[in-house]
Structures are given as C-alpha cells and as structure tokens.
C-alpha cells in the first residue's frame, strides 16, 4: 500500500471529539492515519469544508493530508441535510484524483454511510476497492432509541443497504456488529471483517490520582463519577444524573462528597435543547454536585479519567465505546450499558460492570458498588489496565492494512475475470 484515500464527509479529523458530530470516529481516523503514515503509507483524508477560512489542504502530520471539499454552505448544515450535498462532495473528491495519474490511490476507506455513498462512486471511477466502516447502523439505533430521540430516516437505511452491497470489505468493530451487518443488511459474510478499535496506550495510562484530582480542584476524599462524550439522548448522560439523585436520596450524607463530572458538548438531537442536561440537574436538585466541563483531549482527558472513581457509559447504542477503553487504560473501572460493543470494551465483573437497561435505580446500585467499595475498586482498576492493554491502535492499523491489500487483490481478480 502506497496511498489510501479516507472519506469522512460529516466530521473532520481536525475537530475536537466530544462536541458537534465529532466523537469516536474522529479518534479512530486520526489514530489509524497516524500509524499508517509512520509505516510509510500516505493518507489523504477528504472532509467537508465548514469555514471559508479553511485552506484547501492541511498537513495534519507528515504523510497525512486533510483535504477540505467545498460542498454546500460552510456553516449551518446538520448531518441530516448532508445527503443533498453528496453530489457536490463527490465531484470535489473525483476532481482531486483527476489531477494525478490513474491508480494514484490504492484503496478507499469510507467512514459512516454518507462517506460510503461517495466511496461507492469513487470506487467505480478509480478502479480501486472500497473498504467501509459504518461506525453506527440506523437499523440498530432505531431498535434502541432513547425516550424522545428521533429515529434515523429511511433515506439513511436505504443508503446503508446500498453501501453494504457495493463495498468490497466491511469493517465491523465487534463480532456483534458483524452479525448485525449480515443479519440486518444481508451483507455477504465473506466481505465482513471484525477489527476492534484500539486505545492510545501512551496517552491513557495510570497516574497519580491525587494529583489528577488536584488539577480539577477535587478533594482526595470525594466520590467522583464521570461521563465523557457528546451530550445527546443516544449517549444517555441523563441516566448518570438520575442515578446520582437516587444515590443522594438513599444516603443524604453522601452529598458533601459526591461530584458528577460531565465532560462534553451538545450534539445531534441534543442541539435542539443544548441546556437540557443543566435543567435536569436543577429539576433533580443536584446542581451542587454536578460539574459541566468543555470537551477535553489527550492528557487533559486522561486526568479526568484518573480523577474519577468510576466512569459511566450509559449509551443506548455504541458500536464499540472508546471512552470505556480509555478510562480503563487509565486504571479507572467502568460501569456501562450492556449494548453494542460495550460488552467487548468492558469485561463484566473483571474491569467493570455491565448494566441491563437504563433504570436509574439499577445504575445507582452498580455505581455505588464500585465507587463506595475501595477494595473492589482497586481490584477492578488493576484488571482494567490489563484489559485495555489487549487493544492497541497498532494492531488495528496493521489489520486494516492487511484488509486493504486483501481487498485490492480480490478487486483485481474480479476485474480481470
């Protein structure tokens, strides 16, 4: 492999994860691109330009270019409006390739269904294989909607079905997702590969818990629960707040020590009521124990994980759950919903606990079980580090590169048949 075209229509790898549409997918693209470049593979990432001030091309790192494609107005377009701009985006992608000799890219890797639509056309024009990662699937999301959340539209379902049919390889984050692709989308089993994401084991490491708390103005004796992610119904941060209120109702003396950290910004349907979570905290009477922090990255985010007694991941759907893995790599146990890829990211009873459903009372019990039992927490924390070390971006990247090569060989055999 000499050069890979990566398509990320609706969110740029240059954006801060945790707000807007930036999240685990952004982390995935940045981490794998960085490691591919280190192995001598040039990576060009195509994303939609969201500001007139953005240069057409940005060198994110040596060997990695981010190309900003003009498609529609620079600002004010939600993800649900982007299908109308796919023609313009595709034209920009094809135009960039047309400046080079045929065969400039060895493979295309599209992320999310919007990018898959573009990749499908580029595959036909360039004569190279398309590898696609869905990250989330509409049929799966619609089967487990949060109360009041908006179902994914039929247009997306049809778009995903088309990409599944046309892609040469489909990368699933877990075996559960692989089964969903085959069972719900009629994917050819031989095209589906399970390649788990990784975790940055250099950034997310165990550290000085007391120092981490001091950096966040937290006392050593406080009971700290944390949520990290986009503020939207899908991620269910409200479940953590309701569970915290339940904990205080059971034990009012805990109020002087309890702190709930919510790290992230509004996203998706959460943008319709960006302050809904603050209002919920007020309604529950827990504003004094809840702290809202802006999205963080790198070492600053690692300090949040280290400072917490437990990290909650109460999502209604997660294709994997990178937050759970990052927290565990820092030595912090996780309590997560038993959905999607989270049973892979969290080893139940070993590195944390999985909760069936989203009943605040059940979540309160699970969170208290970990946070208020120092011996159990210490045991889980040690196990969590070892569990997280079983995942690495190096392994993910090596497996992806092998998938690209395999797809390219199969594509060429098909062309010459």
> Residue 21 annotated as binding?
yes
Which residue reads 């892979």 in tokens?
A: 344
pLDDT tens, residue by residue, 137-195: 999 999 888 877 889 999 999 999 999 999 999 999 999 999 999 999 999 999 999 99
> Residue 132 annotated as binding?
no
Model pTM? 0.90
> Residue 25 annotated as binding?
yes
Instruction: Indicate whether 210 pLDDT > 60.
Output: yes
> Residue 396 annotated as binding?
no
> Residue 105 annotated as binding?
no
> Residue 17 annotated as binding?
yes
Q: How confident is the model at residue 415 (pLDDT cuts 50, 70, 90)?
A: low
Mean pLDDT of 325-329: 98
> Residue 235 annotated as binding?
yes
> Residue 136 annotated as binding?
yes
> Residue 10 annotated as binding?
yes
CATH 3.40.50.2000 domain span(s) along the chain: 3-198+393-416, 209-390
Which residue reads 């006392």 in tokens?
A: 219
**Rounded distance between C-alpha atoms, residue 349 and residue 110, angstroms:** 36
> Residue 3 annotated as binding?
no
Instruction: Report the CATH superfamily, name and number, of domain 3-198+393-416.
Output: Glycogen Phosphorylase B; (3.40.50.2000)
Q: Which has the minimum average pLDDT: 15-29, 246-260, 363-377?
A: 15-29
> Residue 180 annotated as binding?
no
> Residue 60 annotated as binding?
no
> Residue 359 annotated as binding?
no
> Residue 65 annotated as binding?
no
* Tokens at 42, concatenated: 């040039």
Would you state the pLDDT for residue 149? 82
Alpha helices in 109-192 (DSSP H): 112-126, 138-142, 154-166, 175-185
List the one residue out of 87, 190, 184 whose CA is nearest residue 138: 184
> In this structure, what are the phi and psi dihedrals at residue 228, rounded to the nearest 5 degrees?
-130, 125
List the one residue out of 343, 137, 110 whose CA is nearest residue 234: 137
Would you state the pLDDT for residue 332? 98
Mean pLDDT of 89-115: 93
pLDDT tens, residue by residue, 245-280: 999 999 999 999 999 999 998 755 444 455 889 999
Q: Whole-number mean pLDDT of the chain?
A: 93
Instruction: Print the SS3 string covering 327-340.
Output: HHHCCCCEEEECCC
> Residue 305 annotated as binding?
yes
| DSSP H or E segment with residue 326 | helix 322-329
The CATH classification of domain 209-390, taken from the options 1.20.210.10, 3.40.50.2000, 2.40.30.10, 2.30.29.30: 3.40.50.2000
CB 315 within 8 A of CB 335: no
Instruction: Indicate whether 308 pLDDT > 90.
Output: yes
If one compares 47 and 144, the residue with the highest pLDDT of the two is: 47
């Amino acid at each position: 492999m000499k050069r890979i075209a990566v398509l990320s229509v609706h969110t740029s790898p240059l954006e801060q994860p945790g707000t807007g549409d930036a999240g685990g997918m952004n982390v995935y693209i940045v981490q794998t691109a960085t490691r591919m470049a280190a192995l001598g593979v040039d990576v060009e990432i195509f994303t939609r330009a969201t500001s007139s001030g953005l240069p057409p091309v940005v060198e994110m790192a040596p060997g990695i270019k981010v190309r900003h494609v003009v498609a529609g107005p620079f600002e004010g377009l939600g993800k649900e409006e982007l299908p109308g701009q796919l023609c313009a985006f595709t034209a920009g992608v094809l135009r960039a390739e047309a400046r080079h000799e045929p065969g400039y890219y060895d493979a295309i890797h599209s992320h999310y269904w919007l990018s898959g639509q573009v990749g499908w056309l580029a595959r036909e024009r360039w004569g190279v294989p398309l590898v696609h990662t869905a990250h989330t699937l509409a049929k799966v999301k619609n089967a487990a909607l949060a109360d009041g959340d908006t179902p994914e539209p039929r247009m997306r379902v049809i778009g995903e079905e088309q990409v599944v049919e046309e892609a040469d390889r489909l990368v699933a984050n877990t075996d559960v997702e692989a089964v969903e692709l085959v069972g719900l989308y009629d994917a050819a089993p031989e095209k589906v590969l399970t390649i788990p994401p990784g975790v940055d084991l250099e950034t997310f490491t165990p550290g000085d818990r007391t120092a981490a708390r001091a950096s966040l103005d937290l006392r050593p004796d406080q009971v700290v629960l944390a949520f990290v992610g986009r503020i939207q119904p899908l991620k269910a941060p409200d479940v953590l707040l309701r569970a915290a209120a339940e904990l205080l109702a059971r034990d009012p003396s805990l109020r002087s020590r309890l702190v709930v950290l919510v790290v992230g910004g509004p996203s998706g349907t959460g943008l319709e009521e960006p302050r809904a979570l603050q209002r919920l905290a007020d309604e529950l009477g827990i504003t004094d124990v809840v702290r809202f922090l802006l999205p963080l990255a790198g070492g600053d985010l690692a300090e949040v994980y280290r400072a917490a007694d437990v990290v909650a991941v109460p999502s209604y759907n997660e294709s994997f759950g990178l937050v759970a893995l990052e927290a565990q790599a820092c030595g912090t146990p996780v309590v997560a919903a038993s959905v999607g890829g989270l049973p892979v990211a969290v080893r139940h009873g070993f590195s944390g606990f999985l909760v069936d459903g989203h009943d605040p009372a059940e979540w309160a019990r699970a969170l208290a079980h970990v946070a208020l039992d120092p011996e159990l927490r210490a045991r889980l924390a040690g196990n969590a580090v070892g569990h997280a070390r079983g995942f690495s971006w190096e392994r993910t990247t090596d497996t992806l590169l092998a998938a690209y090569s395999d797809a390219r060989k199969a594509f060429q055999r098909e062309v010459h048949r």
